[in-house]
Structure 1
Amino acid sequence: MTPTPPDTVGTEDTRLIVVRGNSASGKSSVATGLREQFGRNLAIIGQDNLRRTVLRERDRPGGANIGLIDLTARYALVHAHRGVSRCYYLDVPYAETVRRHATKPDAEYLTHVTPAHLSDWYREEDLLPDEFESVIGASSTLDDTIQQILRESGLDRVPPVDR
């Protein structure tokens, strides 16, 4: 058996799933759905929560949230992760992000984050280099997206812990 370097984490059985996309593309809904389908023992690291709630920081290049996301993700099995890693990009057109944004239940949030903000933040096809991500289009339903990620990551074959 090959010795494991001391800075690796996880096992061949652990999973890391990254879901990226523009604001209001459905990232939080997908993460919530994955947890509902899989159960406990699944960490969700939300950039907005760390940036806006924990740090109360505006979105800016080089912000403290970047380091906090890095530390949090490493703690939850990212750094030198030995298991299966998958990255997904939710490719949702701007008009659809505005429609989805309007359905958010937090009325106060909707008054602070307007379609004008979404337009400023929106980056069409904001993909990582080297075809690192699987692209999921807007035509994929929430359930289809969740099932695709569970299947491709192998989480559908991992027994959940303490449902």
Structure 2
Amino acid sequence: MLRGPSGAGKTTVATAVRARLGRGVALVQQDVLRRVVLREHDVPGGLNIALIATVCRFSLDAGYHVILDGILAAARYGPMLRRLAADHRGRTTFFYLDVPFDETVRRHATRPQAGEFTAEDMHGWYPASGRLDVPGEQIIATTSSAEDSVDRIVAWVAGTGPDTA
């Protein structure tokens, strides 16, 4: 699971990890399921939470590796994420892109969807700490380049990285 604030680089990293790993990897994106499929706001008890869990479970049951990408705020999505991890028969980990607010705003300004929401909107979504504080949660610092982050996650999937214990 790849989580972090808006503008942290989650989708960039998730897409590159999937490309590197090749077939057999499902990319489940919170924004696509919530905003595109359901056209739903991010609200407590929103239908997207169950849909995300269903798509992840379906993909895992079909034998896919799953990359779940999204802000996935701990207060709202934490229970579902913890259940998914507990129910999964394989290895599961959470990667959190820990990027300061000012940096997320700077990055957002360079994105194609920069006009869709403001820094003020982003501030309302920005958690004091987005970490789930679950065993094995891995924090990827803002100093990690997208390529280094991809390398780290791919190494974890392959069982060859320092974070695979």
Q: Same fold (TM over 0.5)?
A: yes
Smaller-chain TM-score bracket: 0.7 to 0.9
Structure 1 range deviating more: 128-137 or 34-43: 128-137
Counterpart-to-counterpart distance in 2, 1:128 and 1:143: 24
Larger Rg: 1
Any unmatched runs of 5+ in structure 1? 1-17, 158-163
* Structure 1 residue 41, shift from structure 2 partner: 1.5
What amino acid maps onto 2:47 in structure 1?
A
The residue aligned with 1:48 is: 31
Residue 153 of structure 1: which of 127, 151, 157 is its match? 157
The residue aligned with 1:95 is: 102
Q: TM-score scaled to structure 2, two decimals?
A: 0.77
The residue aligned with 1:84 is: 91
String of CA shifts for 1:15-65, please: whole Å, max 9, x gaps: xxx001111111101111101211121101000100000000011111010
Aligned residues of 1:93 and 1:124 also touching (Cα < 8 A):
no
String of CA shifts for 1:96-149, please: whole Å, max 9, x gaps: 1001111112xxx32221111111110132111344410000000000000001
> Percent identity at matched positions?
42
Higher RCO, 1 vs 2 (CA within 8 Å, ≥6 residues apart): 1
Q: Does 1:120 align with 2:127?
A: no
Q: Secondary structure at the match of 2:15?
A: helix
Counterpart-to-counterpart distance in 2, 1:111 and 1:82: 41
Any unmatched runs of 5+ in structure 2? 62-83
The residue aligned with 2:53 is: 70
The residue aligned with 1:31 is: 14
Aligned residues: 137
Which of the two has greater helix per residue? 2
Q: TM-score scaled to structure 1, two decimals?
A: 0.78
Counterpart-to-counterpart distance in 2, 1:41 and 1:94: 34
What amino acid maps onto 2:25 in structure 1?
L
What amino acid maps onto 1:120 in structure 2?
G
Q: Does 1:59 align with 2:42?
A: yes
